[in-house]
Structure 1
Amino acid sequence: MSFFLETLVSGLLAGTMYSLVAIGFVLIYKASGVFNFAQGSMLLFASLTFVTLVERNVPFWAALLATVLVMVAGAVLIERLVLRPLVDRDALTLFMATLGLSFVIEGLAQLLMGTDVHMLDLGIDDVPISIAGLSVSQFDIFAAGTALLLVIVLSIVFNKTRMGISLRAVADDTLAAQSIGIRLPAIWRIVWSVAGIVALVAGLVWGARQGVQYSLSLVTLKALPVLIIGGFSSITGAIVGGLLVGATESLADIYIGPLVQGSVSTWFAYILAVAFLLVRPAGLFGDRAIERV
């Protein structure tokens, strides 16, 4: 029984790392109704910027602040050069724009910072510690705490502040929000800036786990099942979806893996996501589409 609980808890904690990536997608989707294909590239660019500054002997907190400023500046440029000319275009056009943007960001990262693999040390060792008789990873606990703190901050910002109310108004009805004086470009700049900061946090956690390298942008593929299960428009859903994916992956690898004589963690989450699409297409916390005929 203790082995089962350890596997379950480890999976739940590991799932919070998927949630960190998924939250960035949710922010952009809530503001524009568009799946931001460039989120993975933003994660890569942010983590590369940070680790490059640290390797050049910039103090940790100074490098962190500088990277945040870089991501905010990038959000302003994206809004001005990419999003503003595409106002009132359909969601497919905006999606294709983010697809092209992802290649631009990755190319810029390669041009400015090279293609070497960088090791990132956050001072948190990935070693097991004993809690209530269960052996869990210290790094996973740190990742879970980071995700929880991020969710609390974002929940306060988007539910209790004027900016959060404006964001929800834009998500509900863009034209109606603009008609009462909400400036769409300003909302997009803020949301993309926050998504960039979230990408930085996720990039640091994932970079510390597997190194800062170009394959880091592919961790966003793991966010897809999380978004499908939790719902594209819910930060809470991103957390719950991440926990479900992490737990089921971990348990499936232990109990189903031996039956198929191989690892199932690489594909099991996608099977789970397909099952959710069949039963609950909007996800656990997603907004159901209402069609009027």
Structure 2
Amino acid sequence: MLYNVLIDPFVMMGSAPDLLIQTLWEGLVAGVLYALIALGFVLIFKASGVFNFAQGIMVVFAALTLVGLHEMGVPALLALILTIGVMFILAVTVERVVLRPLVNQPDIILFMATFGLTYFLIGFGELIFGGNPKQMIAQELYLPQGSTDLDLFGGLVRFQHIDIAAAVIASLIIAVLAVFFSKTRIGRALRAVADSHKAALSVGISLGQIWVIVWFAAGIVALVAGIMWGARSDVSFALQIVALKALPVLILGGFTSIPGAIVGGLIIGVSEKLGEFYWGGLVGGGIETWLAYIIALLFLLYRPQGLFGERIIERI
């Protein structure tokens, strides 16, 4: 038994390096998309100090809006622009209806408010677009189709073009947002709001404006993640389960760290694929559904602040 767990998987990796590369590639693509979703959580957490439970359903809602508008006869690129507008309206609505009345309330109140927002978006999405899975309009959005096979280490490694596009686009968005929120005036204001709402208000920073910008940015991230995940499978409310994989990513990387979201996403994505392919047969498969949470639990036990989070010491 110990041989099967500790030695045989590594023997398989060495004997079939092409399969190892294929597994690593698929893990890296999934990891980048996890990191993209986690970035939406990080942005909102940095601005309000609250974990936005609704980020997962925002991924689904954005993708459903895009596909639903196209099904109504709207051209794909126009539907994309209109969906961006819908996410901006959602950001303004959340700031006016949810955040502004609850400013300076305990964090648990805002956290529970995001639960309410989650179930509102589920009900509203089902009312407008129905509950049946839909096919992402990847071809209409000019996303690449097909695949390329490369002969590596004596075997064929297949690279799906949509996976390559997903990795490139997600990486670009992460890089742009990282620079925007670290080097610009808005980014400095965001850090001030994250440190103290009252102090930010005292120096003339508008909480409402910052919250709208951050929630809109999180909405754009959700839209891109929804397009990419939808193109790899389909668009349905089951996507919010995939989106919640961002929670262990955040635990690994730290709730306030953009680099942490990237590293955590890659660790989770690669670990899931390696675990499922090389160790899945020992437990009957399904490792991808729970391995991320086991890794997160270990981090909570031994390094609760994550890889890039700050250790908070409270003195009494």
Place the TM-score, normalised by the shorter chain, in its bin.
Answer: over 0.9
Q: Measured at CA, do residues 131 and 70 of structure 1 come closer, stay the same or move farther in structure 2, by a change above 3 Å?
A: farther
Shift of 1:9: 2.4
Is residue 89 of structure 2 the alignment partner of residue 88 of structure 1?
no
Is residue 267 of structure 2 the alignment partner of residue 244 of structure 1?
yes
Shift of 1:51: 0.5
Q: Is the 8 A contact 2:253 2:308 kept in 1?
A: yes
2:26 maps to what in 1?
10
1:145 maps to what in 2?
168
Q: Measured at CA, do residues 261 and 45 of structure 1 come closer, stay the same or move farther in structure 2, by a change above 3 Å?
A: closer
Distance in 2 of aligned mates of 1:255 and 1:27:
35
Distance in 2 of aligned mates of 1:229 and 1:211:
28
Shift of 1:131: 7.9
The superposition leaves residues 54-77 of structure 1 with CA deviations (integer Å, 9 ceiling, x where unpaired) of 223322221111101111011101
1:27-106 alignment, distance < 5 Å = 27-106=43-122
Shift of 1:235: 1.6
The superposition leaves residues 120-168 of structure 1 with CA deviations (integer Å, 9 ceiling, x where unpaired) of 1313336353286643332222111111101111012101111111001
Q: Is there any run of 5+ residues in structure 2 with no aligned partner, and where?
A: 1-16
Distance in 1 of aligned mates of 2:96 and 2:195:
23
1:289 maps to what in 2?
312
Is residue 262 of structure 2 the alignment partner of residue 229 of structure 1?
no
- Length, aligned pairs only: 293
Which is higher, the Rg of structure 1 or of structure 2?
2
Distance in 2 of aligned mates of 1:81 and 1:63:
26
TM-score by length of 1: 0.95
Aligned equivalent of 1:189, options 194, 197, 212: 212
Q: Is the 8 A contact 2:146 2:161 kept in 1?
A: yes
Instruction: Report the AA paired with residue 263 of structure 1.
Output: G
Q: Is the 8 A contact 1:129 1:138 kept in 2?
A: no
Distance in 2 of aligned mates of 1:38 and 1:282:
22
Shift of 1:205: 0.9
- % identical aligned pairs: 52
Distance in 2 of aligned mates of 1:34 and 1:131:
48
Instruction: Report the AA paired with residue 229 of structure 2.
Output: W
1:121 maps to what in 2?
137
Aligned equivalent of 1:263, options 251, 267, 286: 286
Q: Is there any run of 5+ residues in structure 1 with no aligned partner, and where?
A: none
1:110 maps to what in 2?
126
1:199 maps to what in 2?
222
TM-score by length of 2: 0.88
1:273-288 alignment, distance < 5 Å = 273-288=296-311
Distance in 1 of aligned mates of 2:206 and 2:171:
30
Q: Is the 8 A contact 1:54 1:63 kept in 2?
A: yes
1:216 maps to what in 2?
239
Q: Is the 8 A contact 1:10 1:137 kept in 2?
A: no
Distance in 2 of aligned mates of 1:143 and 1:122:
11
